[in-house]
Structure formats: C-alpha cells, structure tokens
Amino acid sequence: MIGRLNHVAIAVPDLDAAVAQYRDTLGASVGAPQDEPDHGVTVVFIELPNTKIELLFPLGEDSPINGFLAKNPSGGIHHICYEVDDILTARDHLLTKGARILGTGEPKIGAHGKPVLFLHPKDFNGTLIELEQI
C-alpha cells in the first residue's frame, strides 16, 4: 500500500538557523518558507536526490509543533511521510486493520497541494506517519 518515502519532517525551534545549517553547512538546496495555516506550521523543504527533509516551525500559538518543541526543545524528527496512490482507499484499508486516523479522518491539503492524512503514532511504533496521495 505505501510507496516511496516522500519526506522526513523535523521540528525546529529556530527556522532561520535550521535553514542556514542545511544551506551553508550541508550545502543543500533549500526552498522558501511556506505558511500552512490549516496545519499550524511554517515549512521549508530541503531537496535531496532521493527524498526531502521538511523543516517544521510553529505558526501561531495553537500549532501542534509547540507541544512537540516543549517536550523536545532542541527539535527533532516529528514524522515521516509515505506516498500512497489513493488516500481514501488507504484510509479505508487502515481503518479495517484498526489503525487510528488523526483529526476528522478526512484528508486535508498538505504543503505539496495534495491530500494528506496522519496516523496515530501509538499504532506505528511511536512514529507519527503522514500519508500523501501522489
């Protein structure tokens, strides 16, 4: 059901410092900051030859990233994202297997302009998983 690894998301306490580190220290190709109000984050994508790194920074006081950074003040891996052919088919399959979908269970549009869903980390070895329709 899952396809390629789309990205690994890292929550960061200082977006400018993280961007500079990837761009200047690691020599990576860094995109522009992009606000995602529906998800409460500002994202920056780092383009790698085989995948992407998504830097996550809180957008507003209600951002889910605030809680993560409160527990992990230096930042850290927040989630991994896998591609799926059809997000609704994937959701329905997962529900029959007992997996929990976060939120309403209806896909939202993600940072790439495609439908996404998040799976409860307690169902996947403590890892928050994002599914993105290709």
Catalytic annotation, residues: 130
Q: Which residues pair with 12 in a beta bridge?
A: none
Distance CA 125, CA 81 (A): 15
Distance CA 18, CA 49 (A): 19
Two tokens at 74? 């230096």
Burial (CB count within 10 angstroms: exposed 0-12, middle 13-18, buried 19+), residue 42: buried
